[in-house]
């Protein structure tokens, strides 16, 4: 027993030492949300170009250790605890691999995770254990398409397609399918997404001030994070458009900030620009405290620029009329870009500023000049001529722009500016004409009023006549009804009397027949009785016997008969005690 205990003691001590070593310097505790990067101190050298080690190789291990408890020999391994990669909602992680196979010539993205370089697929929201020694991570915003917009996708890698054709899988170019409103986790190195407005937009041509493009207002979402992403998307869209407008400023483009500067100058000069008056007509939602706070001229002018004013273009509609006068129009064209056509429009023409500048405005100016030159200056002041020109302009723009996949809803003429020397005579003549029409209408009104009064009097007279005739008719109908009722009642009484007479006749006949029957029955009964008496008398032949029989028959049944003895003898004495068994008649 002592020998066994002496052997067991060293084993226990050795076990405690091994446990202390394992639980002490060999233990790697990895908490949740962290990972362990392990570096092997011994092993085979890494292959050329590799920076991460596999099993049995010396260097930084490719795969980190997950959360939990791990045991490694500190003599052969070093380690460090780092946080795992966390991608929040609304973001993507763009991964650049420092290791892997080299990309083929001409390729800029790694098709899968085995290649070296930028991965084509991004990491969506979640947690990932990627070794920071082998991968660089860049956090980017996800693509958010706000409500009222679509995203046009342009593939930036692959084989280029022919001009005017959509890109298919593995091809470079604009893709046919657009992104509907929502959140998308897309690699911006692989796909460029341009956000375009769908639905109703406006091009307002305001005299010599140029043209202003107004887009729809923003629609807020229920999520603050989505609102932030939406603002980021809209700002990126605005930055792209401002860059395009700046590059093409020589063609007359004005950004929203340039329009605000014009408003500031007009405000400082004591006047206002035409587009700012249009801008104030648009609904703008402001906080009450902001509207009550004092503003400088710059702040007031900047506040007059609504968020829906996207940009301006120095283009205006001016053409000679048929009689040689210069006509300047203020108009608003309402157009819509449909989702099924917007990718083709973007591929052929570009973003909204390019569409307006290359397609819509040239057609508006061309059609306005072509159609407007067939009208006289007077026609643009006269209501009928102006409406005819507006209807013709809308119809022609709808036809022409439908071939460009742009839907036109309205072309509204808001104001017409013509030379004063022709405007005054036309206005004077128009006023005289309108005054003459007014006088004629007044005369017609007076005549109609007199006719109305006459008709009213006739109506009152006819009303009284109808009332009298109605009363007479009511009285006549009442009298006729009363006579008819009396006749009906008399006829009913006559019918009742006739029926009673017939009933009395029948009852008299019944009584007569009954009396005759009773008399005949009594007569026959008496005859039969007499015949019976005659037969009885014939049977007895002696009248005395018949009289006795008759006497006996007529006696009262209640009469008793008692026999009393009248002399001596036992028979007569005992008769008192004798009880007759038979009734004695």
296-308 residue pLDDT tens: 333 433 333 344 5
pTM given for the model: 0.57
Return d(Cα 346, Cα 193) in angstroms, integer.
Answer: 11
Does residue 561 surpass a pLDDT of 80?
A: no
CB atoms within 10 A of CB 44: 13
What confidence category does residue 226 fall into, taking pLDDT thresholds of 50, 70 and 90? Answer: low
What integer pLDDT is reported at residue 290 of this predicted model?
A: 39
382 or 68, higher pLDDT: 68
What integer pLDDT is reported at residue 272 of this predicted model?
A: 46
Does residue 477 surpass a pLDDT of 50?
A: yes
Phi and psi torsions of 212, nearest 5°: -125, 130
Distances in Å between the alpha carbon of 275 and those of 152, 335, 362, 418, 540? Answer: 30, 19, 20, 20, 160
Closest CA to 380 of 325, 435, 300: 325
Distances in Å between the alpha carbon of 413 and those of 92, 311, 393? Answer: 49, 21, 10
The lowest-confidence range among 97-106, 335-344, 452-461, 535-544 is: 535-544
5 or 29, higher pLDDT: 29
Return d(Cα 292, Cα 306) in angstroms, integer.
Answer: 18
Return d(Cα 268, Cα 265) in angstroms, integer.
Answer: 5
Return d(Cα 118, Cα 98) in angstroms, integer.
Answer: 9
**CB 218 within 8 Å of CB 230:** yes
Phi and psi torsions of 351, nearest 5°: -75, 180
The lowest-confidence range among 96-100, 279-283, 320-324, 424-428 is: 279-283
What integer pLDDT is reported at residue 490 of this predicted model?
A: 92
In the chain, % of residues over pLDDT 90 = 27
Q: What is the CA radius of gyration of the chain?
A: 63
Tokens of 91: 């973001």
501 or 9, higher pLDDT: 501
Tokens of 401: 């722009």
Assigned CATH topology for domain 191-286+294-418: Tetrahydropterin Synthase; Chain A (3.30.479)
Tokens of 546: 């018949």
3-state helix, strand, coil in the chain (%, to 5): 50, 25, 30
Ranges of beta strands (E only) in 537-580 are none
The lowest-confidence range among 4-18, 22-36, 60-74, 433-447 is: 4-18
**Running DSSP on this structure, what letter comes out for residue 167?**
B
Mean pLDDT of 162-168: 89
Mean pLDDT of 445-461: 92
Q: At 51, is the secondary structure helix, strand, or coil?
A: coil
Does residue 450 surpass a pLDDT of 50?
A: yes
What integer pLDDT is reported at residue 539 of this predicted model?
A: 76
Tokens of 333: 């064209």
Return d(Cα 177, Cα 338) in angstroms, integer.
Answer: 13
What integer pLDDT is reported at residue 488 of this predicted model?
A: 93
What integer pLDDT is reported at residue 154 of this predicted model?
A: 93
Return d(Cα 152, Cα 339) in angstroms, integer.
Answer: 10
Domain ranges of the chain: 191-286+294-418
Question: Can you name the residues that pair with 212 across neighbouring β-strands?
Answer: 204, 312
What integer pLDDT is reported at residue 582 of this predicted model?
A: 46
Phi and psi torsions of 269, nearest 5°: -80, 0
**CB 310 within 8 Å of CB 352:** yes
**CB 306 within 8 Å of CB 214:** yes
Mean pLDDT across the chain, nearest whole number? 78
Write the pLDDT tens digit of every residue in 492-503.
999 999 999 999
């Amino acid at each position: 027993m002592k020998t066994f205990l002496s052997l067991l003691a060293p084993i226990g001590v050795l076990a405690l030492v091994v446990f202390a070593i394992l639980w002490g310097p060999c233990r790697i505790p990895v908490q949740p949300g962290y990972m362990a990067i392990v570096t092997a101190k011994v092993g085979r050298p890494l292959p050329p170009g590799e920076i991460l080690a596999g099993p049995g190789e010396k260097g930084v291990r490719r795969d980190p250790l997950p959360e939990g408890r791990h045991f490694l020999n500190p003599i052969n391994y070093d380690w460090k605890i780092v946080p795992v990669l966390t991608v929040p909602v609304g973001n993507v992680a763009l991964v650049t691999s420092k290791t892997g196979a080299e990309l083929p010539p001409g390729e800029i993205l790694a098709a899968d995770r085995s290649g070296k370089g930028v991965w084509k697929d991004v990491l969506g929201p979640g947690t990932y254990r990627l070794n920071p020694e082998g991968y660089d991570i860049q956090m980017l915003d996800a693509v958010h398409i706000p409500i009222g917009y679509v995203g046009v996708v342009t593939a930036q890698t692959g084989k280029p397609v022919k001009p005017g054709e959509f890109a298919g899988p593995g091809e470079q170019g604009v893709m046919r399918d657009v992104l509907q409103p929502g959140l998308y986790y897309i690699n911006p190195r692989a796909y460029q997404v341009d956000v375009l407005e769908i639905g109703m937009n406006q091009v307002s041509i305001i005299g010599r001030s140029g043209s202003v493009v107004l887009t729809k207002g923003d629609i807020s979402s229920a999520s603050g994070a989505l609102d932030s992403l939406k603002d980021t998307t809209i700002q990126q869209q605005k930055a792209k458009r401002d860059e395009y407008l700046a590059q093409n400023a020589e063609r007359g483009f004005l950004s929203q900030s340039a329009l605000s500067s014009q408003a500031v100058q007009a405000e400082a000069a004591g006047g206002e620009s035409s587009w700012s008056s249009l801008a104030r007509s648009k609904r703008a939602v402001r906080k009450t405290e902001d509207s009550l706070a004092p503003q400088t001229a710059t702040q007031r002018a900047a506040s007059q620029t609504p968020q829906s004013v996207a940009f301006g273009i120095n283009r205006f509609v001016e053409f000679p009329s048929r009689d040689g006068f210069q006509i300047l129009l203020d108009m608003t064209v309402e157009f819509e870009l449909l989702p099924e056509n917007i990718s083709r429009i973007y591929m052929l023409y570009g973003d909204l500023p390019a569409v307006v500048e290359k397609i819509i405005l040239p057609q508006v100016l061309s059609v306005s000049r072509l159609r407007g030159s067939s009208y006289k200056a007077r026609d643009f002041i006269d209501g009928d001529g102006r409406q005819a020109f507006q209807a013709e302009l809308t119809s022609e723009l709808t036809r022409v722009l439908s071939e460009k996949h742009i839907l036109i809803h309205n072309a509204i003429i808001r104001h017409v500016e013509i030379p004063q020397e022709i405007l005054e005579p036309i206005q004077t003549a128009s006023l005289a004409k309108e005054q003459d029409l007014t006088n004629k209408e007044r005369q017609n009104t007076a005549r109609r009023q007199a006719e109305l009064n006459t008709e009213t009097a006739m109506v009152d007279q006819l009303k009284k006549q109808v009332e009298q005739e109605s009363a007479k008719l009511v009285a006549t109908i009442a009298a006729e009804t009363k006579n008819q009722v009396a006749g009906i009642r008399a006829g009913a009484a006559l019918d009742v009397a006739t029926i009673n007479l017939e009933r009395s006749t029948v009852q008299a006949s019944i009584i007569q027949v009954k009396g005759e029957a009773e008399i005949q029955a009594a007569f026959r009964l008496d005859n039969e009785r007499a015949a019976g008496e005659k037969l009885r008398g014939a049977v007895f032949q002696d009248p005395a016997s018949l009289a006795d029989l008759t006497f006996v028959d007529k006696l009262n049944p209640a009469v008793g008969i008692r026999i009393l003895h009248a002399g001596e003898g036992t028979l007569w004495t005992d008769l008192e005690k004798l009880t007759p068994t038979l009734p004695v008649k």
